[in-house]
Amino acid sequence: MNVEISGLTRRFGRTTAVAGVDLQAGPGVLGLLGPNGAGKTSLLRVMATVVPPTSGRLRLLGRDPGQYGPRREIRRRLGYLPQNLGYYPGFTVAEFVEYFALLKEMPAARVPAAVAAAVERVELGGKAKARLRTLSGGMLRRAGIAQAIVNEPELLLLDEPTAGLDPEQRVAFRGLLRHLGQRATVVVSTHLVEDVGAACARVALMDRGEIVFHGTPADLTARGQGHGIGDAPLERGYSAVISAARS
C-alpha cells in the first residue's frame, strides 16, 4: 500500500479538520469527494507532508513521513497540486516546471526531457516559453499539473485539478489520470462526481472530517438507488451517503 492511514486526526486550533480517518490506497486513482469544509484539502495537505498529523498513524510509500530522512525520500516521489496554485508570474511554463523538478531533486541531466514531456502531457507545449502571467486560469491549472507530474510521482495528490479546465481538457485530463493510475497512487480531491465516475477506480467520501464511504464508484452508485436527489446515479449515491452520515 502506498498510503496507509489509521486514526489520523488534524486539528487547526479548536477546529478538527480531519477526525480519525482510516484509509489505505495502492496504485490506482482514488477520488476524494465531499462537500465544502469536509476536510478533503486538509487530508491532502497531511498526505502531501505540508502539515503533520495531530495524531494517528501515517505511512506513505512504505515510509514514515514524521522522520526527516524518510520524509525527504517520500517527497522525491511525490506530486502535489494544491487547491490554490501559487506561482511566480515572471517564470515561463517550462521554467516553472523545471524549478519544481529541480526542487524535487530529479537528476539534473534528466530534467530538460522530463520538463518537456510534462508540459506536452498537459498540452502546453506551444506555451512552454510563455510567462505564467500571460496564461488563462485553465492554462495555469495545467501548468500546475505539469509541475506535479514532472517527477513521475509514485504518489500524486491533486486538489481540484479540473477546476478551470474546459470540457475538452477535462476529458483529456481524465485520460491522463487513468494512465498515471496504472503505476502510481493518485488521490484526486474534487467536487465533480463525473470526474470520479470517469477516472477513479475507488472513491472515498468525506464529511465533517470523517470518511463516511470508501468503495468503488459502482458501490457509491448502488447506494443511491431509490434516493431522489441528484441528476446522475453517482450524484444520487453521493447524496444518499451524505444524508445517511448526517442523519
Partner 1 sequence: MTAPRVPATARRRPATRRSGLASARLLRLELRHNAMLWMLPVAVALFWFTTYRKTMAMPPLWNLRAANMQSGALADFITPVVGAAAWMGSREARRHTTDLVTITARPRWARLLTTWAATTGWAIAGCLGCLAVLYTVTARQAGWGGPLWWPAAVVAASLAALSAIGFAAGTLVPGRLTAPLAAVAAFFMLALSTELIVGSQSYWQISPLVTGPWDAGPNAGVGTFYPYLPDLSIAQAMFLAGLTIAVLAALALPRGSGGRRLRAAAAAACAGGLVAAGTAVALAGTGKLDAHGMIAIPALHDAANDRPIRFSPVCSQTAIPVCLNPAYASYLPAVAAALKPVLHEIAGLPGAPVRISQAAVTYQQGAGNSVGASLAGPPVSGRPPVYHLLLPDQLPGPVTTVSELAAAARLTAGPAILASVMGDGPGASQAQHAVTAALVMAAGLPPHGIPPAADGQPGTPPEVTPGSPAYAAAQRFAALPASARHAWLVRHLTALRAGRVTLAQLP
Considering beta carbons, is residue 122 or 205 the nearer one to partner 1? 122
- Note whether 93 binds partner 1 by CB under 8 A: no
* Binding positions for partner 1, 160-219, rule CB under 8 A: 169, 172-173, 175-176, 179-180, 183
Considering beta carbons, is residue 44 or 196 the nearer one to partner 1? 44
Q: How far apart are CA 25 and CA 8, in angstroms?
A: 15
Considering beta carbons, is residue 68 or 226 the nearer one to partner 1? 68
The stretch among 17-25, 82-90, 195-203, 232-240 that binds partner 1 (CB under 8 A) is 82-90
Residue given cell 495537505 in the structure block: 45
- Note whether 136 binds partner 1 by CB under 8 A: no
| Cβ atoms of residues 25 and 185 within 8 Å | yes
Give the side-chain half-sphere CA count within 13 A for 74: 26
- Note whether 130 binds partner 1 by CB under 8 A: no
Q: How far apart are CA 35 and CA 207, in angstroms?
A: 7
32-67 b/e (C-beta count within 10 Å ≥ 16 → b): bbbeeebbbbbbbbbbbbeeebeebebbbbebebee
Considering beta carbons, is residue 90 or 126 the nearer one to partner 1? 90
- Note whether 222 binds partner 1 by CB under 8 A: no
Helix (H) or strand (E) holding 93, with range, is helix 93-103
Q: What is the 3-state secondary structure (H, E, C) of 30-78?
A: EEEECCCCCCHHHHHHHHCCCCCCCEEEEEECCECCCCHHHHHHHHHCE
- Note whether 221 binds partner 1 by CB under 8 A: no
In the complex, least distance from residue 126 CB atom to partner 1, rounded to whole angstroms: 13
* Binding positions for partner 1, 26-65, rule CB under 8 A: 45, 48-50
Q: Residue numbers of the site for partner 1 (CB under 8 A)?
A: 45, 48-50, 68-69, 72-73, 75-78, 80, 82, 84-91, 95, 98-100, 102-111, 113-114, 117, 120-123, 142, 145, 147, 149, 151-152, 169, 172-173, 175-176, 179-180, 183
